[in-house]
Structure 1
Amino acid sequence: MSHTAPSPAPHPSLHRLLSDLHRALPPSEDVFLVGGGVRDLLLDRPLKDMDLACRDAEYVALRLARTLDAAFVPLGRDHDPPSFRVVLRDSGRHGTESNQSFLDVTEVHGRDIVEDLGRRDFTVNAMALALRDLSALTNPGPSLIDPYGGLDDLHRGLIRQTGPQTIADDPARILRGFRLRAQLGWALDHATLDEIEKRAPALAKVPAERLTSELRLILECPGGGRLLAEMERAGVLAVLFPELRDMRGCGQNHFHHLDVFHHSLAAVDHCEVLLAELDAVFGELREPILAVLKGWRLPWLKLAVLLHDIGKPGTKAHRSTRENTERITFYGHDALGAAMAESIAVRLRLSTAERKYLTGLIRHHLHVGVLLRPEAKLKARLRWMRRLGPDLIPAILLCLADVRATLGPSSSLQEHQAQEIRGVALIREYLEQTRTTFSVAPLINGHDLLALGLPPGPLLGRILKQLQEAQDAGEITTREEALQMVDQLLPGRATAN
């Protein structure tokens, strides 16, 4: 059915774009704004998506590209229905958000726009507005085409599949449903959730790139990590990460009150709490922390928290103590966990930088935990600051979330609070050291060592590292002292200025 309702007038920043679209197309052209753009317009949210549907989409897209001085990009021969991208050269001028710089124009599928909407995923995305009505900015508002009750679901805050085959036709919509839940804070309706549980195994056949894209969008939302528990109950997490299976029921030592799997979910929850409380916990460090977590670093931090103990089941052992009692150990679980995370990252098609970041957080989480102890020496702290660079900050967040989720009988809330204070201090110290110590040029570099007769190779690298650590710690402050240190590191080798 067509649902006529007064819709909000487009945000003033969209007027120029809508005016240009109106100018580019004749009034008789049946072009519709569809999908998430309609939903966001009705919610008075920033319009991130401009998806248009029409007949003869290629002609319309070419005409829009010429009028808007934009680039025309076909979206592949296999795209069904045929779709074309109009890439704007100046998205800011057209009022869309800075990260949105294109329009997608897609061929109407079926007899008309109503049949086309029936192929879409969820009812709140299965609404359309005629562009000519929207562009005219008429009052009381454009006519909303809403054959599946999307407007009612929007008012109820409900994510509901458009039809009984919605999920079966494209299982990637399972993650899209959770993504909408994360972005909007809405609920999945019971029938849709039942269908998700039924179809979850089919996610294994969805291309990795699509899964990764949706997972990132879920986890980058504030509180998005908390949906991992819901995804677990729906059978989704087990398909995405079958490696988690052995974590379930894997008991831990007396510092823990949960098995490895539920401890990891709890740590993700605590990571979300820390991120929501940046002002309260970290004070003036909030902005530097957010700067480090830009882009994919925020969502993959949450993934690292989920996976940080993934190596524990494979390294679990029982050892006898001097008191003839038995204790549980997980020696090497950080290294094994990093290797397992590497395999997961490859499967998810993460970039080299993303893989290095994810596996590094897991590989080094125990080392960073040691830095949060009161006995940690300055030289050790500086060494790890150099080694991890800005990744030290998310590594500290992971450790603090891990600590908060450790509430066994031998855990001390007082010690937890002390570790948190030391974590904040370590971030502050790192930021200060980057402005001071780490900005100073080395007293001796590789060329100097080569000139002294050292051959290229691992030995030269080790000496440079030791010299840098000594310089950072203030143990050497002049070139002469650095040369003397080389003599000490290489007894019998003559050095000269």
Structure 2
Amino acid sequence: MTQFPFDFNDLPTPTYLVGGWVRDRLLNRQGKYLDLDFVLPEKAIETAQAIARKYQAGFVVLDAERHIARVVFKDGTADFAQQMGNSLVADLGRRDFCMNAIALECHQLIEVEANSQEICYIDPFDGIGDLKAKRIRMVAPENLAEDPLRILRGYRQAAQLGFEIEDWTKQVLMKLAPKLKSVAAERVLTELGYLLSIPNGRQRMLDAVRDRILEDWLPSRYLNLARFSETEKVISNLLTRFPSLELFFSKSLAGDRHALVIVKLAALTKAANALEFLCLSRAEQRWLVGILRYLSQFITLLDSASPKEQYKFFQSTLEFFPAIATLALASNYQWEQITPWIERWLTPHDPIAYPMALITGDDLRQELGIPPSPKIGEFLEKVKIAQVEGKINSKQDALDFVKILMDTQSNA
């Protein structure tokens, strides 16, 4: 029995549950975090506000004109929307796909779950038949045209559910694809983030690209489909070999968008400027530019890199190095070449990736009398390089090394 964050007896009659929660109930795939959508014939915002007040939950009006509000609970959200059209069936007829146009009356659900009865779903477009057939089928072309983000959402939901897009629906999605360029970049990026976060979502992303759904956002001439095709498998293998990398790929870079999304976007594109219209966050943009900028340098270093070259490379890429390794592996470079680099990155206090400081700027000022200046930074960097090359390994070694540098410069 589902545990809801509030008592449905507090809802007016009728109140309908619709959309994703109903679909997922029929598929037996509901998660811990509830995402509930309610439709009411009237007073949707007032009902939401009353629920929020009674249960001390968050409340926000999402769309005053269309009478939509959200109540935020600890373990889920509940959106309340006023019915569009003169009946529930008319409201369902404005939705994107038939599998999302199924409803049930909330008070009936209380009785059914209490008495283990069979529930009566309101399913005017045979969405249940689509669920059984694992098929995504549109309600009507004009519904997709009304909100073109639904075009991309169809591919995301196909990946999410493991469904196939019905042929006629796919033809309409492809025909309407140019309308996607009118959607705000933030919404497109959010939907892409969802798609790229789905395990085994690779094929649906490739389908969307090959069907030219994303041509206005990700022009095919700028994409590296071969590398992207291998990336998901590479990440899976990396996590099998190095489970602690899960912390890297799950790092949040922008809200609920994680590093995994940027790694896959970097694998997909040939140049960072190809994604400039997606409005990435500053952190995401920094990662994307850095990953693509340093990838070719990393590949050059794989054959033979001195400790000094490895140190300098790590200093420039520590924040996102596993992403560079991922793209190199997806480009068919050998595990034997790349694994030692990953092991260094994963090892705290590795003498090359994370060399411990032997001396500080204060040491140079106090013990060698060097006044504050850019010279201190130069000396410290040269000490680090000598350290990773194995030439010095103690504080006294470092001070003696700097003395030699000072004498050499004064005699030059």
**Does TM, scored on the shorter chain, surpass 0.5?**
yes
Q: 2:264 aligns with which of 299, 302, 310?
A: 302
8 Å Cα contact 1:183-1:221 kept in structure 2: yes
Letter of the aligned partner of 1:83 in structure 2?
I
Could you tell me which residue of structure 2 aligns to residue 240 of structure 1? 217
Instruction: Give the distance between the partners of 1:438 and 1:377, measured in 2 at CA.
Output: 13
Matched, 1:71 2:55: no
Secondary structure of 1:193's counterpart equals helix
Could you tell me which residue of structure 1 aligns to residue 8 of structure 2? 22
Letter of the aligned partner of 1:423 in structure 2?
I
8 Å Cα contact 2:195-2:205 kept in structure 1: no
Could you tell me which residue of structure 2 aligns to residue 326 of structure 1? none
Instruction: Give the distance between the partners of 2:80 and 2:350, measured in 1 at CA.
Output: 49
Tell me which moved more, 103-112 or 378-387. 378-387
Instruction: Give the distance between the partners of 2:193 and 2:226, measured in 1 at CA.
Output: 19
How many residues get paired? Answer: 397
Could you tell me which residue of structure 2 aligns to residue 465 of structure 1? 381
Q: 2:81 aligns with which of 88, 103, 106?
A: 106
Could you tell me which residue of structure 1 aligns to residue 255 of structure 2? none
Instruction: Give the distance between the partners of 2:147 and 2:354, measured in 1 at CA.
Output: 52
> 1:363-374 maps to which residues of 2 (within 5 A)?
363-373=293-303
> 1:144-223 maps to which residues of 2 (within 5 A)?
144-223=121-200
Q: 2:47 aligns with which of 60, 63, 77?
A: 60
- Ranges in structure 1 where 5+ consecutive residues have no aligned partner: 1-11, 92-100, 248-260, 311-336, 404-415
Deviations 1:78-97 (A, max 9, x none): xx522111111x32xxxxxx
Q: 1:453 aligns with which of 360, 364, 370?
A: 370
Could you tell me which residue of structure 2 aligns to residue 478 of structure 1? 394
Instruction: Give the distance between the partners of 1:461 and 1:149, measured in 2 at CA.
Output: 70
Letter of the aligned partner of 2:24 in structure 1?
D
Normalised by the length of structure 2, the TM-score is 0.88
> 1:90-129 maps to which residues of 2 (within 5 A)?
90-91=74-75, 101-129=76-104
Matched, 1:401 2:401: no
**1:400: how far off?**
0.7
1:422–1:113 CA distance, 2 compared to 1 (3 A)? same
Deviations 1:83-139 (A, max 9, x none): 111111x32xxxxxxxxx322111111112211111111111111111112233143
Instruction: Give the distance between the partners of 2:351 and 2:9, measured in 1 at CA.
Output: 57
Letter of the aligned partner of 1:361 in structure 2?
I
Instruction: Give the distance between the partners of 1:133 and 1:357, measured in 2 at CA.
Output: 50
Secondary structure of 1:487's counterpart equals helix
1:59–1:153 CA distance, 2 compared to 1 (3 A)? same
Matched, 1:38 2:22: yes
1:69–1:384 CA distance, 2 compared to 1 (3 A)? same
Instruction: Give the distance between the partners of 1:270 and 1:103, measured in 2 at CA.
Output: 38
**1:168: how far off?**
1.3
Matched, 1:86 2:2: no
Letter of the aligned partner of 2:246 in structure 1?
L
Instruction: Give the distance between the partners of 1:73 and 1:106, measured in 2 at CA.
Output: 12
**Greater relative contact order (Cα 8 A, min sep 6): structure 1 or 2?**
1
Tell me which moved more, 129-138 or 206-215. 129-138
RMSD: 2.4
Instruction: Give the distance between the partners of 1:142 and 1:389, measured in 2 at CA.
Output: 55
**1:206: how far off?**
0.8
Instruction: Give the distance between the partners of 1:128 and 1:33, measured in 2 at CA.
Output: 6
Deviations 1:41-97 (A, max 9, x none): 1111124421122121111111211222212111244xx522111111x32xxxxxx
1:75–1:491 CA distance, 2 compared to 1 (3 A)? farther
1:151–1:167 CA distance, 2 compared to 1 (3 A)? same
Matched, 1:275 2:235: yes
Letter of the aligned partner of 1:427 in structure 2?
I
Secondary structure of 1:381's counterpart equals helix
